[in-house]
Chain A
Amino acid sequence: MSTYTYPRYSCPPLRDAGARHPVVVVGGGMVGLTAALDLARRGQPVVLLDDDDTVSAGSRAICISKRSLEIYSRLGIGQRLLAKGVTWNTGKVFFRDRLVYEFNLLPEPGHEFPAFVNLQQYYLEQWLVEACAETGLVDVRWKHRVTGAENRADSVTLTIETPREKYTLTADWLLACDGAHSVVRESLALPFVGKVFRDRFLIADIVMHVDLPAERRFWFAPTFHAGGSALMHRQADDVWRLDFQLGWDADPEAERDPERVAARVRAMLGPRNKFELEWVSVYTFRCRRLEKFRHGRTFFLGDAAHQVSPFGARGGNGGTQDADNLAWKLDAVLRGTAPQSLLDSYDAERIPAADENILHSTRSTDFITPKNDAARAYRDAVLQLAARYDFARPLVNSGRLSRPAVLRNTPLNTPDDAPWTGGLPPGTPAIDAPLRRDGTDDWLLRHLHGFSLLSFGDTPASIPGIHTVHVSPQPAPGALHDYAGLASSRYDAKPGTAILLRPDQHVAARWRGFDPAAIMTAWKTALGIP
């Protein structure tokens, strides 16, 4: 019995063989759908091609980070994810059978979204499909499999196969979101190099009705799974993600055998807990990326561009931030408000972010899978010391959980022209804060779309063409009342402070006083206008 019924989408009849479209997305997974929805929300028509006729097979990327939730909130499905997902803040780490370390990810109150919610990827994808349909701008073509891509000077030509026919399409811009085995990447013969990890892991999603807290539990070398690590994490619908490290020599076929999986689960949970297996997968992984994510008219997003280990929830969340980063830029170029060179900043911003994710997930993997006896001695030493001494706890690495990328060295930032003691330097994603609008509770991030100027103080600053968000210490008509003072403290704002935010809610520039000429210059810089 399954807790989820997969939708079956119909393959649309072909009407436009040989046509040319401004934007084509290849891959209807979470990243492709997110990119398509973001573009459609900005008014751009998108053709999306997917080789399947349904959503993610299996729960896959279950941990949705706060930043991703904020991005999905901007796209209109944040509350739906929050309501269905399992909110969690606590992580526990065990060595052998002893709790050595417990962490709390809840940074502080006063945010609309928690650090993480867990939700099966198929829900996210289904709701993205529905949201795309509501825009009326996304032409999703299920069972339209891309078999080749050819980059030209001002377009990309795709060859496509449906169950009935073959055809070609031309795209002004192509977004390759077709995953780790990207056909687009292979067609363009781009090397995808990195590190292979000689280890295998078993995922077992089980349905279990049990009253356990929603927390992440990670075991190093527990007695129920000698020698390996294990993970337990709650999802929606009483589904639990269990993950067992198997070692490189494990036989993937044998390990998928339901009886064998059930025996592992019983060893973990004890004989009394009743459960059903919902999904089983044996996987290995690599950490690697393309040298560049932009190749002429083609962009690579998500796993098509970079791959990480699953420890740290950096795959799905990283891909979501790729889409968030590229959509507004492509929209600005399509509208003619920015030069095409703005699109090069996708590489400048998302390659360092991918490297950060690869670094963290590689380090986590090296901790979880020690490569030699010395590494294992250090790993076990850290875990033994962590049970007794605070200093060793930050050394325990069961996955450094996804944090939003700070775009430090991007040409789109305008550096501070005055000293700041805190707040958010250029490149940082905006932080949420509770506010009131005309007496009603509200959140700051809900008001940031398009280029926004956060203006603090009694009198709002205003620039033609830029959406002003007035944050006032007093209730005032049309203003966001910073009744708790959290917006001011989080942004290190004083009366007169102005902060320019990009359409992806990253800080572009900030000032202590209102200087319209400086704001216009920073706005042009953020759009890549020379």
Chain B
Amino acid sequence: MKDLDTSPRLDDPDALYEALVDAHRDLDAEASRRLDARLILLLANHIGSVAVVREAIAAARAAAEE
């Protein structure tokens, strides 16, 4: 993979959203942050490219600025 792919790719978007929200059920803010950190590390390793993760970081930051 060369670039961050931001086209719609998920096989089941509603199920993904539900899974993410469910994962944080019953967690306080601190525990949620730690869960997200573990999740991001697992996904980043799956992607396997620091360059792509950097693009995702930039895209995530930019999305909040609008």
Which A positions have Cβ atoms within 8 angstroms of B? 373-374, 377-378, 380-382, 384-385, 389, 391-392, 395
Contact = CB atoms under 8 A, between A and B. Distances in A.
28 contacts: A373-B30, A373-B33, A374-B33, A374-B37, A377-B30, A377-B33, A377-B34, A377-B36, A377-B37, A378-B37, A378-B41, A380-B34, A380-B37, A381-B34, A381-B37, A381-B38, A381-B40, A381-B41, A382-B41, A384-B38, A385-B38, A385-B41, A385-B42, A389-B42, A391-B45, A392-B41, A392-B45, A395-B41
B62 to A, nearest CB: 18
Interface of B: 30, 33-34, 36-38, 40-42, 45
Nearest to A395: B41
Contacts, number: 28
B2 to A, nearest CB: 21
A377 B42 CA distance: 14
A84 to B, nearest CB: 42
A391 B44 CA distance: 10
A378 to B, nearest CB: 5
B63 to A, nearest CB: 18
A381 B42 CA distance: 10
A395 B37 CA distance: 13
A385 B33 CA distance: 15
A377 B33 CA distance: 7
Contacts of A384: 38
A395 B41 CA distance: 10
Nearest to B45: A391
Given A378-B37, A381-B38, A385-B38, 16 more contacts: A373-B30, A373-B33, A374-B33, A377-B30, A377-B33, A377-B34, A377-B36, A378-B41, A380-B34, A380-B37, A381-B40, A381-B41, A382-B41, A384-B38, A385-B42, A391-B45
A389 B30 CA distance: 23
A384 B35 CA distance: 11
A227 to B, nearest CB: 15
Nearest to A375: B37
Contacts of A395: 41
Nearest to A373: B33
A160 B57 CA distance: 56
A380 B34 CA distance: 8
Contacts of B37: 374, 377-378, 380-381
A392 to B, nearest CB: 6
B42 to A, nearest CB: 7
A391 B30 CA distance: 24
Contacts of A373: 30, 33
Contacts of A382: 41
A398 B40 CA distance: 21
Nearest to B29: A373
Q: Enumerate the 3 nearest inter-chain pairs by beta-carbon distance, A residue then B residue, closest first.
A: A381-B37, A381-B38, A377-B37
A381 B39 CA distance: 9
Nearest to A392: B41
Nearest to A380: B34
Nearest to B38: A381
Contacts of A391: 45
Contacts of A377: 30, 33-34, 36-37
A382 B37 CA distance: 8
A136 B33 CA distance: 65
A45 B45 CA distance: 56
Contacts of B36: 377
A382 B44 CA distance: 12
Nearest to A386: B41
Contacts of B34: 377, 380-381
A380 B30 CA distance: 12
Nearest to B42: A385
A389 B45 CA distance: 11
Contacts of A381: 34, 37-38, 40-41
Nearest to B33: A377
A391 B37 CA distance: 15
Nearest to B32: A377
A374 B34 CA distance: 8
Contacts of A389: 42
A380 B31 CA distance: 11
A381 B36 CA distance: 9
B10 to A, nearest CB: 23
Nearest to B34: A377
Contacts of B30: 373, 377
Nearest to A379: B37
